[in-house]
Amino acid sequence: MTPAKYDTLIVDWGGVLTTSLNDAVAAWADRRGVRLSDYFEVMRQWLGDAGGMEAVFNPIHALERGEMEIPHFEEHLAEALTRVSGHEVVSEGLVEEMFEFFDHAPDMNGLVHRAKQQGLRTALLSNSWGNSYPRDGWDDMFDAVVISGEVGMRKPEHRIYHHTLELLDAPAESSVFVDDLVHNVAAAEELGMAGVVHSSYEETLVILEEKLGVSLS
């Protein structure tokens, strides 16, 4: 291994430590009888084409910062889906059912465990939709856990990255951030972190071993 420039690993949850976010949403939409194109149209209207555009009021941003309760968000989502699709979508349980389709990704979780065992600083940085996280084993896996709804900040706001780095007592320049969303990675890179857009375990493994200078296989 080459000498390590980085000694800190920060990772996202949904789509990184779980199976694909798109696969989970597709399965949820199929169960709910929601057209996937309608769901993504609502997301585009709320988030903008790049997924990071701020709005005066955005239900997703409010939910992720903990400013809105799940039932209220579900009402907004059902109303928007009803408007786009032209047929009524029931709000109750919309978000809870979605997260039933997020499956544990043992390969990526194992990678983070091995990074921690190698002496690297590790953290979870996740935008929450008010969902319950499977936290068993996290004490052995992370030095810090930052959930957007618990701290009143969200990615890609720079302040949540600063908060995570402060908890780790780590400079941005020594940190690698892994997320499945390009705009979240871009925000980390703006602060001086190395960014990795996660698409597969095999690809992320190779990149992280090179940057961190340790074997994570």
- What pLDDT is stored for residue 5 in this prediction? 84
- What pLDDT is stored for residue 50 in this prediction? 59
Backbone φ and ψ for 129, nearest 5 degrees, come out as -105, 35
The mean pLDDT value of the chain amounts to 93
- What pLDDT is stored for residue 49 in this prediction? 63
- Would you state the structure tokens that stand for residue 106, as one six-digit string? 């043992």
* Domain 21-99 fold: DNA polymerase; domain 1 (1.10.150)
Which residue spans of the chain are classified as CATH 3.40.50.1000? Answer: 8-19+102-212
- What pLDDT is stored for residue 131 in this prediction? 84
* Domain 8-19+102-212 fold: Rossmann fold (3.40.50)
- Residues in the chain, pLDDT under 70: 1-4, 49-57
Q: Measured at the alpha carbon of residue 164, what is the angle toward residues 109 and 55, in degrees to the nearest 5?
A: 100
Which residue spans of the chain are classified as CATH 1.10.150? Answer: 21-99
- What pLDDT is stored for residue 55 in this prediction? 47
Q: By 3-state DSSP, what share of the chain in percent is helix, strand and coil, each rounded to 5?
A: 50, 10, 40
Q: Measured at the alpha carbon of residue 100, what is the angle toward residues 97 and 102, in degrees to the nearest 5?
A: 130
- What pLDDT is stored for residue 78 in this prediction? 96
- What pLDDT is stored for residue 3 in this prediction? 54
Residue 166 CB neighbour total at 10 angstroms: 10
